Amino acid sequence: MTWFEHLLYDIVMNTWHKARFASFLAMAFLCFVIPVMAVYSGFQKQQNIRHHIADHVRNGNEEIEAKHLNAISSTVYDASQEYGIDYRLILALMKVESNFQHDAVSPRGARGLLQIRPVFAKFVAQDMGIQWNGNETADDPGTNIKIGVRVLSDMVHRFYDVTTALRAYNMGPERTRGLPPGKMSSPRGFPGQVLREYHRNIVILPDP
């Protein structure tokens, strides 16, 4: 091999090694950047949805305090993710149950945003590891939402149908089981009110 061929060979090999190193750096960069961008995109989506939840609740109750609004938007989103329930359905249930009044109390004693019954909610709270302090716990917006969404999730898994689950949420699972099948799954009454509100929310609020 002549000196020229040696020189040419060295140049080719150096170029090849540099190209390989550049490719390695590019791959390493992409392996780092893509996950970071995915996490950032997910975070941006979360923040966007939380912002829409806060606006939606504020529009429904302009007198709500900022501290309660922050707790509501965060807890609605987190609970929807934890239990796999569309946050727009949770907001629809909240609208029908309390009209976004965190201190609402029904004639039958159901309390808060999702109108949980303290006697029943106490056992749910204990199962969730939430300390129960009576009406103080039931009236707390964040805790009320956590318990209410847990109950709704349980009803969905028990009846395998959102309409029936909403009826069971409203009147209790045992009373719901005692209904004729057609009435059990009928959207008339309370389930229909929530579902109509839910469909309105689908139009105006972003997908989960």
Residues 133, 189: Cα–Cα separation, whole Å: 33
Number of domains in the chain: 1
State the residue range of the domain holding 139.
3-204
* Angle ∠(165,168,174) on CA atoms, nearest 5: 130
Over the chain (208 residues), the average pLDDT of each successive run of 10 is 57 62 59 53 78 93 86 95 96 97 91 92 91 91 96 94 95 90 86 97 95
pLDDT at 40: 42
pLDDT at 22: 56
Residues 98, 72: Cα–Cα separation, whole Å: 13
Closest CA to 90 of 68, 115, 107: 115
The secondary structure of 185-202, three-state, reads CCCCCHHHHHHHHHHHHH
Q: Amino acid letter at 140?
A: D
pLDDT at 142: 94
The pair of three-digit structure tokens given for residue 65, joined into one six-digit string: 């305090």
pLDDT at 46: 82
Contact of 100 with 60, CB cutoff 8 Å? yes
pLDDT at 151: 96
Contact of 44 with 172, CB cutoff 8 Å? no
> Residue 117 has what DSSP assignment?
-
